[in-house]
Structure 1
């Protein structure tokens, strides 16, 4: 890790990234304590001194480093206690960057970063380069420690929650796909959210590349600036639909060229890449109606992009969940005359108010099952039933994947 490697570390949060961090630290001979507030967590395979439930400051003991999972906010009691005690607090992503020798491509932004990350991984594979895809895409960066080819490129999706607590992370290529309001409920302001995102660039030197949207203001660090836009000439047209996905393809192409990938390999991947789960994912066609899973659209900007991808088709849009302190009027404004909305979850009343103000037909369905049933009853051949919630999932589901899987199950039930 470094000359200052601690003899004992504390890991906060024991979901995927926390467990991977424990394993990576133990692989390096570091003793590990861990804390999670979930008293029902199965900790049978966690190689650490684990405390569940209420936090106890005594767990800090002789800890020399705290590794924070992305779901743990800065104001959580263990984080505050560690910082008050002068103990460094870093993210799981920062730990991975310290432990891995691999060159890293860091991809961040508000919407499209998962698609861009997966697409760039596919481009590198098409070029015959060893590559690992990790980070916020679902595979913790620290899970690669001791298990991956040290020469492999690591394409790493970076969330604002992960970037809050970096120190030395320095992507050889850092990509900002776009920057729009999101997670204001966690960061407090858009400016704080944007500052967290832009930390991906802060440690870059003149030997590195900063890939940003055309015309975007200056970013931190000293990386060589490379710009892209949705209307860039590409080696091939991407298979995945929508103007926003052409923007993602342009970002991935710019990053691949910065690494030295030839256009032939880029073209092959653009044509072959099918997209990612839960992002404008075709599920089925039932009695002439298309059903599309866009559960990963957890903010207004993402949902607007999904509606734009089906412009001209009558849409039955399922919206709602846990809101992120965003206004919904900009979303209501992109509904077309024949579109209908079905609102669910905690944000349903606020969504219904904004949509009705824009003269959108609204059904207050309450939950996903009733929304799918109501949309299916109203839809006609040629229509699209689109799950694009514009909200987080945590009021009724474990995560956006769980929500998308439930949508698929309900559509399969319709098909039967």
Structure 2
């Protein structure tokens, strides 16, 4: 918890970007008595078309068509949306004249009077955040689940309800401007190359993830993946308790074959069966991290077991879609980096046709070579990175290209034999062809269902 309030009556604040988080920020700041203005990158015509009612309702000063120094500098505090890259000259100039630039985490850091769990990592953040929230809820706790998962933390501060626990997903972008945010339990699931177009290097990316621990203090807990070499590089403040989950016996929670082995105060280990569908890929690590957090929050083993059994995997994460002519189709559209694809392929049997590609994020697709060589006999490539991925993989697998998802599904189905799997696991962002990873996954699922419809129309069996 932080003592310093950034937003208070009479404070002048500029909100950068009027999206979901921006609108929540406006409501929060106005509720705290601040003077609010908005700067948005959309064209003035588009901005007014989309937001005129909200602007009038809240009597906001605004600019659109870009962000200008002269408009923003009239405020003492700038609250950017998480997607804004704060390295540019505009933000350097604003800092030089004393404008405070603070992300949502920094703004709300002082607001919490209940335990806060923060979950970060390259892959699995949403799954683990949702899992912890659902297990707590299944055991009678009133839980606020938010952050990068979709509901801004500003909404927690505005809510009339009281909560027992806050569980928040935090991205590297949010952590860059997290200020004094100090979660009671901070979880780092894994670190694999991602968003290097923003962070410039793995060192920069790791440093951003490390920020989840940076303001923690004595009595708080850091939960860290002990098998991940990049996680091993993070530094946790002195006095913060560290618990690691790992397949090694030199950790707080050891992951074995369908068993968690928890280190006890006596130096022995207490064994717990874990009951969830599949331990391949990241699944066991995700549940192990959640296990340690839930134990810290006071849940018993039977309570955790109950929640784990009730949990269902989220859409677009190794989601089984259908089986046609003994070929299985799996939607893993959420896999937007190479680490996620490697984890997905670990869970697949031999004989995979992989659909990959999209908008790159600075990833090195050669990191896929080993997994692809072991499991994938054909890759169908889409999107802006198709040629880059082909150059990385062409000597270890057959590479085909498609202009649309429908064409990719058709080519993948043609390349697959009975008993094999067509896996959409793109290793890229979706925004070259789709609105989101969810949109991409839904188009994939629709194309798969269309295959089945066509087969039925032509009397297939």
Q: TM-score range by the shorter chain?
A: over 0.9
CA distance in 2, matches of 1:249, 1:194: 22
CA distance in 2, matches of 1:308, 1:109: 19
- What corresponds to 2:235 in structure 1? 219
Checking the alignment, whether the CA contact within 8 Å between 1:136 and 1:158 is kept in structure 2 is: yes
Q: Label 1:172 to 1:337 Cα distance change in 2 as closer, same or farther (>3 A).
A: closer
Of 161, 173, 178, which residue of structure 2 is paired with 1:161?
A: 173
CA distance in 1, matches of 2:427, 2:131: 23
Matches within 5 A, 1:392-403: 392-403=429-440
Q: Label 1:3 to 1:140 Cα distance change in 2 as closer, same or farther (>3 A).
A: closer
- What corresponds to 2:14 in structure 1? 10
Of 120, 132, 145, which residue of structure 1 is paired with 2:132?
A: 120
Q: Label 1:414 to 1:367 Cα distance change in 2 as closer, same or farther (>3 A).
A: same
Checking the alignment, whether the CA contact within 8 Å between 2:353 and 2:422 is kept in structure 1 is: yes
Secondary structure in 1 matching 2:359:
coil
Q: Label 1:192 to 1:3 Cα distance change in 2 as closer, same or farther (>3 A).
A: closer
CA distance in 1, matches of 2:365, 2:213: 31
- What corresponds to 2:267 in structure 1? none
- What corresponds to 2:251 in structure 1? none
Secondary structure in 1 matching 2:37:
strand
Secondary structure in 2 matching 1:125:
helix
Q: CA deviation at 1:235?
A: 4.5
Secondary structure in 2 matching 1:124:
helix
**Structure 2 runs not aligned, ≥5 long:** 248-254, 262-271, 454-461
- What corresponds to 1:247 in structure 2? 285
- What corresponds to 1:260 in structure 2? 298
TM-score, normalization: structure 1? 0.94
Of 421, 427, 437, which residue of structure 2 is paired with 1:390?
A: 427
Describe the superposition over 1:83-125 as per-residue Cα deviations: whole angstroms up to 9, x where unpaired.
Answer: 1321111112322334444421001111111111111111111
Of 286, 290, 301, which residue of structure 1 is paired with 2:324?
A: 286
Q: Label 1:33 to 1:102 Cα distance change in 2 as closer, same or farther (>3 A).
A: farther
Q: CA deviation at 1:15?
A: 2.0
Say if 2:149 is the partner of 1:140: no
Q: CA deviation at 1:326?
A: 2.1
Q: Label 1:321 to 1:4 Cα distance change in 2 as closer, same or farther (>3 A).
A: closer
Who wins on radius of gyration, i.e. which is larger? 2
Checking the alignment, whether the CA contact within 8 Å between 2:16 and 2:22 is kept in structure 1 is: yes
Describe the superposition over 1:309-332 as per-residue Cα deviations: whole angstroms up to 9, x where unpaired.
Answer: 1133x2111110111222212202
Matches within 5 A, 1:41-120: 41=47, 42-43=50-51, 44-46=53-55, 47=58, 48-76=60-88, 78-120=90-132
Say if 2:317 is the partner of 1:274: no
Q: CA deviation at 1:271?
A: 1.7
Single out whichever of 206-215 and 336-345 deviates more from structure 2: 336-345
RMSD: 2.0
Checking the alignment, whether the CA contact within 8 Å between 2:104 and 2:154 is kept in structure 1 is: yes
CA distance in 2, matches of 1:22, 1:235: 47
Secondary structure in 1 matching 2:394:
helix
Q: Label 1:16 to 1:241 Cα distance change in 2 as closer, same or farther (>3 A).
A: farther
TM-score, normalization: structure 2? 0.85
Checking the alignment, whether the CA contact within 8 Å between 1:130 and 1:149 is kept in structure 2 is: no
Describe the superposition over 1:97-156 as per-residue Cα deviations: whole angstroms up to 9, x where unpaired.
Answer: 344444210011111111111111111112211111111112222122221633331111
